[in-house]
Chains A and B, each alone.
Chain A
Amino acid sequence: MTAHGAANGTADIEFIDVSKHFGAIAAVDHVDFAIARGSFMSFLGPSGCGKTTSLRLIAGFEQPTTGDVRIAGTSMVGVPAYRRPVNMVFQHYALFPHFNVADNIAYGLRQRRPRPDRAEIARQVDATLDLVRLPGFHARRVWELSGGQQQRVALARALINRPTVLLLDEPLAALDRKLRRDMQIELQNLQREVGITFVLVTHDQEEALSMSDTIAIMRDGRVIQIGSPRTLYDAPANRYVAGFVGESNFFPGEVVAADERGATLKTAAGVVLSAPYPPGGATLVGTARGVIAVRPEMVAMWVGPDDPDGAAEFSCRLGGRVHNRIYLGDQTEYSVATDQFGDVLVRAAKASALEIGPGQEVRLGWRQASGLALVDS
């Protein structure tokens, strides 16, 4: 987590032990990370965890209380926002209501000294409007535009400056689901097209997972884990990350045995479960409590009494009753009430032959290797 890319010249943004306090609140608390040049990075975390503050520290609207913020290897402490080579897309766009679309987009270019000539500005505005697929929108008033169009104008206004880094603070939060999906794809394409480093703030895990090269999971002002979506999914650092990236069943308990590869826990109901640690995960050796996480798609479900093929390998088998069923398109999610663990989530491919409905008695099981033994925090 503290590997600074500046040494080899590939990091666009670095936080070096950065803290930002507002009175007694530590909005950002001893944060360290480096964002690689040309990558798509997301900050993911619940409300109030310090995502916006981190972005504002990069943009220059806030100055760190302690630590150093670097952009392209240069310390930005004390450098005001208007001298930083980054641009931001604001959550509510912050378009200038007294300017039309073209003047909004040209705003950054017009602040340059020497100021580019009119023809050059007009040419770049045209090109940028094409880039965000709003050709011919020059003279429109910004408050006449739809949410998605305003969002594109905000994007164009930032992109025209060819910043080193583009900052996006929940830019899609105000859009409806369908439009959000379209814009996510467009943003990704755009990022590849222009090759600028994108830093996105979101509390939508799907958005972060689908768009980013790297995700930083935040909690209470701290970065809990940084990694690719795959890493975070397959090797979460603890229960919090596993719960934030995708869904999991959590079975907390007392550590009764632990070695270098995995741990065995005894849950409150007295069930003994074992699982390996995720790759590179912390060991539970010497820890009193831990948790075993099992992804819903790793849980097998069948109607008894005969065990299906391969059930012999299951480390855990238990009975339960389906009390809820949700269709998720290509998958179906079941909520199964069990005596030992309460509700257990199960996700099965739709193609699964048996039609199981609410009220059905079922049996559940999973392989020991499908679970992950994690730090319970």
Chain B
Amino acid sequence: MRGYAALIYVFLYAPILLIVVFSFNSGFSASDFKGVSFKWYAKAATNTFVIDAVVNSLIVAASSATLATVFGTMAALALQRVKGWVRTVFDGLIYVAIMVPGIVIGISTLIALVSVFGLLNTALVALIPALAGPEPPLALGFASLIAAHTLFNLALVIVIVRARIAGMDRSLIEASADLYATPWRTFRQVTLPQILPAVLAGFLLGFTFSLDDFVIAFFVAGSKTTLPIFVFSSIRRGVTPEINAIGTVVLAVSLILLFGSQLLLRRGHGRPRRA
């Protein structure tokens, strides 16, 4: 039984380990290891296509994670005030949104965004004539990538922040009001500090998701290339050690962000308490 479990771990992690190991291979072939070298990292780092894709990915990840964090936190706070079946339905829908396969989100956001952008473009051009030109102000590319990732990240942030708010001591808010703090000051001085670890964790998870997402991005990216899309298109020309290097970096960054978010969530809950 123990051997069986070990086998599963080998099955899960061996391919990842191979990528990491061969990213340091000084040779080209993925079948024989010729010695340790960082040359593929250097190569990737100077490849303008790679740099371009990394910059795009970072822009999309930072924007979508920020938007999702702001609006998701607001939504989570608002949901806390809703009572009864409405809240149950909303909570359920948010979990469903996270479980929906990426391909479905990709197709549906593509269709939705194309039509929404169409409407918005007409409105924008009518309002601000200066925006009129051969290119519509909103098109597939950054706008659609950020919009699609924000939608998904919203659900992530809401779930994480909701859990934290639900676990928060309601009487802290009442104590603050009792001590003459207006609702806004209570929010700034008590609620926000209490939920901040979860808000930051939500941001980091959203950032990681956006950085790693291929499926949704592939549908809505238009002519823009994010890092996962770049990797995918390069692979069609064969797996190079350069791709291994990129994969290793993405893996490292993702793990660091995930670790950071877990640390934040744990710190938020694990405060030592005595009666």
Residue numbers of A with Cβ under 8 A of B are 59-61, 80-83, 86-88, 90, 92, 94-98, 107-108, 111-112, 143-147, 157-158, 161, 174
Contact B171 A143 (CB under 8 A): no
A158, B179: Cα distance in complex, Å = 7
- Contacts A81-B177, A107-B179 given; indicate if A90 touches B190 (C-beta within 8 A): no
Contacts of A161 in B (CB 8 A): 179-180
Question: Which chain B residues in 150-207 approach chain A with CB under 8 Å?
Answer: 169, 171-172, 174-183, 185-186, 189-190, 193-194
Contact A147 B179 (CB under 8 A): no
| Cβ distance B45 to chain A, nearest Cβ, rounded Å | 42
A351, B183: Cα distance in complex, Å = 62
Known A83-B180, A94-B171, A107-B189; further 10 A-B contacts with Cβ < 8 A? A60-B177, A60-B178, A82-B182, A87-B178, A87-B179, A88-B175, A94-B174, A108-B179, A111-B182, A144-B272
A92, B273: Cα distance in complex, Å = 12
Contact A81 B193 (CB under 8 A): no
Proximity bits, B245-275, A CB within 8 Å = 1, else 0? 0000000000000000000000000011111
Contacts of B193 in A (CB 8 A): 98
How many contacting A-B pairs (Cβ < 8 A)? 74
What is the chain B residue whose CB lies nearest that of A87? B178
| Cβ distance B176 to chain A, nearest Cβ, rounded Å | 7
Secondary structure dominating the interface of B = helix
A144, B274: Cα distance in complex, Å = 7
Q: Pick the contact of A143 from B176, B186, B189, B271 — CB < 8 Å?
A: B271
Contacts of B180 in A (CB 8 A): 82-83, 108, 111-112, 161
Contact B178 A88 (CB under 8 A): yes
Q: List 20 A-B contacts (CB under 8 A).
A: A61-B177, A61-B178, A86-B178, A88-B175, A92-B169, A92-B171, A94-B171, A94-B175, A96-B176, A97-B273, A107-B179, A108-B180, A111-B179, A143-B272, A143-B274, A144-B272, A145-B274, A147-B274, A157-B179, A161-B180
What is the chain A residue whose CB lies nearest that of B275? A147
What is the chain A residue whose CB lies nearest that of B190? A96
| Cβ distance B268 to chain A, nearest Cβ, rounded Å | 11
Contacts of B275 in A (CB 8 A): 147, 174
What is the chain B residue whose CB lies nearest that of A175? B275
Residue numbers of B with Cβ under 8 A of A are 169, 171-172, 174-183, 185-186, 189-190, 193-194, 271-275
Contacts of A147 in B (CB 8 A): 274-275
Contact A90 B171 (CB under 8 A): yes
Contacts of A86 in B (CB 8 A): 178
Contacts of B271 in A (CB 8 A): 97, 143
Contacts of B179 in A (CB 8 A): 82, 87, 107-108, 111, 157-158, 161
Contacts of B174 in A (CB 8 A): 59, 61, 81, 88, 90, 94
Contact B172 A96 (CB under 8 A): yes
- Contacts A98-B194, A174-B275 given; indicate if A80 touches B177 (C-beta within 8 A): yes
A342, B133: Cα distance in complex, Å = 99
Q: Pick the contact of A146 from B175, B183, B272, B274 — CB < 8 Å?
A: B274
| Cβ distance A157 to chain B, nearest Cβ, rounded Å | 7
Contacts of A87 in B (CB 8 A): 178-179
Contact A81 B178 (CB under 8 A): yes
What is the chain A residue whose CB lies nearest that of B272? A143
What is the chain B residue whose CB lies nearest that of A91? B171
A18, B250: Cα distance in complex, Å = 64
Q: Across chains A and B, which 7 residue pairs bring their CB atoms closest together, nearest first?
A: A108-B179, A94-B171, A94-B175, A111-B180, A81-B177, A98-B193, A82-B177
| Cβ distance B87 to chain A, nearest Cβ, rounded Å | 17
| Cβ distance A86 to chain B, nearest Cβ, rounded Å | 8
Contacts of A88 in B (CB 8 A): 174-175, 178
Contacts of A98 in B (CB 8 A): 193-194
A80, B180: Cα distance in complex, Å = 10
| Cβ distance A115 to chain B, nearest Cβ, rounded Å | 11
A60, B181: Cα distance in complex, Å = 13
| Cβ distance B178 to chain A, nearest Cβ, rounded Å | 5
- Contacts A143-B271, A143-B273 given; indicate if A90 touches B177 (C-beta within 8 A): no
What is the chain A residue whose CB lies nearest that of B173? A94
| Cβ distance A275 to chain B, nearest Cβ, rounded Å | 46
What is the chain B residue whose CB lies nearest that of A163? B178
Contacts of A59 in B (CB 8 A): 174, 178
What is the chain A residue whose CB lies nearest that of B180? A111
Q: Pick the contact of A111 from B172, B181, B272, B273 — CB < 8 Å?
A: B181
Contact B175 A82 (CB under 8 A): no
Contacts of B189 in A (CB 8 A): 107
Contacts of A90 in B (CB 8 A): 171, 174-175
Contacts of A95 in B (CB 8 A): 175
Contacts of B177 in A (CB 8 A): 60-61, 80-82
A97, B178: Cα distance in complex, Å = 17
What is the chain B residue whose CB lies nearest that of A174? B275
Contacts of A174 in B (CB 8 A): 275
- Contacts A82-B180, A87-B179, A111-B181 given; indicate if A94 touches B172 (C-beta within 8 A): yes
Contacts of B172 in A (CB 8 A): 94, 96
Contact B176 A107 (CB under 8 A): yes
Contact A96 B274 (CB under 8 A): no
Give the one of A86, A97, A158 with max B CB within 10 A. A97
Contacts of A83 in B (CB 8 A): 180
